Structure 1
Amino acid sequence: MTAVPQERKLVTAIPGPKSQELQARRLGAVAGGVGSVLPVFTKRLDGGILEDVDGNRLIDFGSGIAVTSVGGSAEAVVRRATAQLADFTHTCFMVTPYEGYVEVCEALAELTPGDHAKKSALFNSGAEAVENAVKIARAYTKRQAVVVFDHGYHGRTNLTMALTAKNMPYKHGFGPFAPEVYRVPVAYGYRWPTGAENCGPEAAAQAIDQITKQIGAENVAAIIIEPVLGEGGFIEPAKGFLPAIVKFANDNGIVFVADEIQSGFCRTGQWFACEDEGIVPDLITTAKGIAGGLPLAAVTGRAEIMDAPHAGGLGGTYGGNPVACAGALGSIETMKELDLNAKAKEIESLMKARLSAMQEKYEIIGDIRGRGAMIAIELVKDPASKTPNPEAAAALAKACHAEGVIVLTCGTYGNVLRFLPPLVIGEDLLNEGLDVIEAAFATL
């Protein structure tokens, strides 16, 4: 494997002729419901650069949606996964187990918050992890109701669509959804009516009031929240909100689930985003950044809760696939070796400084938020009204793509540009990507 040169290089228009050829084939063979942000076909991915089939090299500010945090072909991930491939690709852990699965569970017990006894179960995707967290919480509490939050995203299965807040494109036309799911307010400081400084306690009081009156705390099996909301717009719940919700859950025998699928594994400058306010969840769901791009997910939590389902009640044919487990051990090895938590904090300080300077020039940047290498800007028509500006987000993304920088949009209103660079990206590439973004603002 030859390393991809870490420099942006455009040799054709984006997308180039070979990508366009492949796109024509794709339209004939791949279901239309599967979208792509940018129809550029990837040849190699390494560090902070994606090289396409036409030889263009694009700066990657997406990481495959926070997955390739250690880069798209990290040495330790490739080495361990290759060795495992040569030994065996599958046995099904539920038929004959293997050490890699156990090693990943041991690593998760060590890395996740809290010093209580912990156990894990491994799955394939984030949605599967969340769905199994609900199963585990229901088995443990013997209750049924599940509480989620405005702007939350938890997946695309039937149950996780019910948990997800946003209709389009995730839920539209796919109902009816799973029952016994209830949604309550979240502490979205930028849009809180009485201002960000009051938001944490006020939103927590509202949420708790709704749970108590509309559901009954004694009926709630689980409260599920992303400690930094992902698809909903990289919303950091205002300070004080999460601790109040956790206390309410603990006081009422409710299983508190931190959905760390997008925010976990050094992405926010800590192993897990819930550590920021000292939150110790009962269960934590992980996927995305866990295995360097191989499909793996986990539910990790208090041993007594994890052991509540009957033997055989959890599992799945591919869950904890041996090659994916090897990738996870390689990914964790890389994160420790390169201190990617520190790297994420460096990325945050550089990005926020540059974006703040842009905000002074361009008043459509209403808010800059996020932590570590999980940073976003919310775009508005004007700062006074805070009217969402999805058109600007789409135009900026398009302009960046044309200049060879991969950026993603998100947010309930579609007006948020989110930045998820690989944690191994070079500072020069990070600055160059921000130069392209700044130039896009200037032309807009």
Structure 2
Amino acid sequence: MMRTEELIALESSLGAHNYKPLDVALVRGEGVYVHDVDGKRYLDCLSAYSAVNQGHCHPKILKAMIDQASKLTLTSRAFHNDQLGLFYQEIAELTGSHKILPMNTGAEAVESAIKAVRKWGYEVKGVETDKAEIIVCANNFHGRTMGIVGFSTDPDARGGFGPFAPGFVIVPFGDAEAFERAITPNTVGFLVEPIQGEAGVVIPPEGYFRKVRELCTANNVTLILDEIQTGLGRTGKLLAEEHEGIEADVTLLGKALSGGFYPVSAVLSNSEVLGVLKPGQHGSTFGGNPLACAVARMALKVLVEEGMIENAAALGPYFLEGLKSIRSNHIRSVRGRGLMLAVDLHPEAGGAREFCYRLRDRGILAKDTHTNTIRIAPPLVITKAQIDDALTEFDKVLAG
């Protein structure tokens, strides 16, 4: 087997340099742990950006994947299969949705929602053709496709990729008054993350989403919640919207929808929004394929039956308080909800990436974001003892 340095050199020489990963080459994972090619074990505090909420290589999801892969993997949507309807039924019962559109990646789910909500705006709300507006938030992250980066405020995401599609209005995140001022008769949707993940686990003020929900209802605006990172237990609820007791009109899921085994995403909505799509107007060869559906069905089943959501609700605050108790001149603030956590460092600390390397050296894998933030999101199967182990290492790295 090639060593870490050799694998990294091979990637660097042949791959596009559109990522800057930490220097570790992983070869195996189980539960909350991953192992590198040199035999070292790490506690994973990133969960592939919340795609492996159920833990690495969950045996029941693995079995479902192997069983289905031995029977039928792909039919395209030219034909029906025996898994898609059951996937629809089970996710609808779990989330209260009325219609489901299956896709593959999170970005595809976002793009699909944009298309459907615009079409709804023209055909149902009565907006003039090509005048529809969707409000989004500054510092958003919804993916990296051309349509999405056009309404990003991140210069790295936007720079050099224009021209961009019109029809998006940007407002500050967490400011309900700014959102209200931005609404016009042409506003068809508000696309927003319940917690901004890539921006550094930014949590809006209490009551923000209740006010947003009221404004959307009053102005016939579709509320689109991107729960691709926050959904499926990450924040201690099945969906993060539950923390404020609201319901979105459109909910986007991905990442943990497959437990990390396969790209699976979904647009969940009511019949009014997704009902505007007719045959030939939108689709995906792989979206809704039997392998994806079988994997997603089991990923949802173990999430619920094995109490992972409740575990995140119970242990998230414990992890948060442990991080807050670290005495360090480097730490500016600590925040989180459920097992979606972040440690902000003072700029003079020298950047979060250096601390992530120190954590790596002590057997903890976390990831820097926006220069001075360490993002922490372990699999939802983590135990109190494992959190204690992690806190010991965080304390040693951050203390000072």
Task: Using structure 2 for the length normalisation, give the TM-score.
Answer: 0.93
CA RMSD of aligned residues (A): 1.7
- Counterpart check, 1:370 vs 2:369: no
- Counterpart check, 1:175 vs 2:162: yes
Aligned AA for 1:102? Answer: G
- Counterpart check, 1:25 vs 2:14: no
* Distance of 2:263 and 2:366 partners within structure 1: 22
Corresponding residue for 1:314?
282
Aligned AA for 1:91? Answer: T
- Counterpart check, 1:151 vs 2:139: yes
8 Å CA contact 2:330, 2:349 repeated in 1: no
Corresponding residue for 1:265?
232
Q: 2:114 aligns with which of 134, 156, 159?
A: 134
Question: Shift in Å at residue 438 of structure 1?
Answer: 1.1
Deviations 1:369-413 (A, max 9, x none): 2211111122234xxxxxxx68331221121122221101224xx
* Distance of 1:120 and 1:256 partners within structure 2: 16
Deviation larger for 266-275 or 395-404: 395-404
- Counterpart check, 1:406 vs 2:394: no
Corresponding residue for 2:65?
81
Question: Shift in Å at residue 78 of structure 1?
Answer: 0.4
Question: Shift in Å at residue 246 of structure 1?
Answer: 1.6
Aligned AA for 2:11? Answer: R
* Distance of 2:103 and 2:166 partners within structure 1: 23
* Distance of 1:178 and 1:222 partners within structure 2: 16
Aligned AA for 1:28? Answer: S
- Counterpart check, 1:301 vs 2:269: yes
Provide structure 2 residue ranges, at least 5 long, that are not aligned to the other structure: none
* Distance of 1:347 and 1:236 partners within structure 2: 18
Moved over 6 A (4+): none
8 Å CA contact 1:154, 1:163 repeated in 2: no
Corresponding residue for 1:386?
none
How has the CA–CA distance of structure 1 residues 84 and 156 changed in structure 2, closer, same or farther, with 3 Å as cutoff? same
* Distance of 2:378 and 2:114 partners within structure 1: 31
Task: Using structure 1 for the length normalisation, give the TM-score.
Answer: 0.84
* Secondary structure of 2:3 counterpart: helix
8 Å CA contact 2:2, 2:37 repeated in 1: no
* Distance of 1:291 and 1:132 partners within structure 2: 19
* Distance of 1:437 and 1:176 partners within structure 2: 43
Question: Shift in Å at residue 243 of structure 1?
Answer: 1.4
Aligned AA for 1:23? Answer: I
* Distance of 2:119 and 2:90 partners within structure 1: 25
Aligned residues between the structures: 391
5 Å-filtered alignment, 1:275-354, equals: 275-293=242-260, 294-354=262-322
* Distance of 1:258 and 1:390 partners within structure 2: 35
Corresponding residue for 1:185?
172
* Distance of 2:84 and 2:388 partners within structure 1: 39
Aligned AA for 2:13? Answer: G
Corresponding residue for 1:195?
none
Question: Shift in Å at residue 161 of structure 1?
Answer: 0.9
8 Å CA contact 1:390, 1:416 repeated in 2: no
* Secondary structure of 1:243 counterpart: helix
8 Å CA contact 1:44, 1:52 repeated in 2: yes
Deviations 1:308-332 (A, max 9, x none): 1222212111112322221111111
* Distance of 2:386 and 2:3 partners within structure 1: 25
Aligned AA for 1:377? Answer: V
* Secondary structure of 1:87 counterpart: coil
* Distance of 1:249 and 1:363 partners within structure 2: 43
Deviations 1:176-222 (A, max 9, x none): 222111100112xxxxxxxxxxxxxxx2112212x14xxx2x10111
* Distance of 2:102 and 2:176 partners within structure 1: 32
8 Å CA contact 2:316, 2:337 repeated in 1: yes
Corresponding residue for 1:434?
391
Aligned AA for 2:321? Answer: A
* Secondary structure of 2:28 counterpart: strand
Deviations 1:338-379 (A, max 9, x none): 111111022212211211111xx2243222222111111222
* Distance of 1:410 and 1:351 partners within structure 2: 19
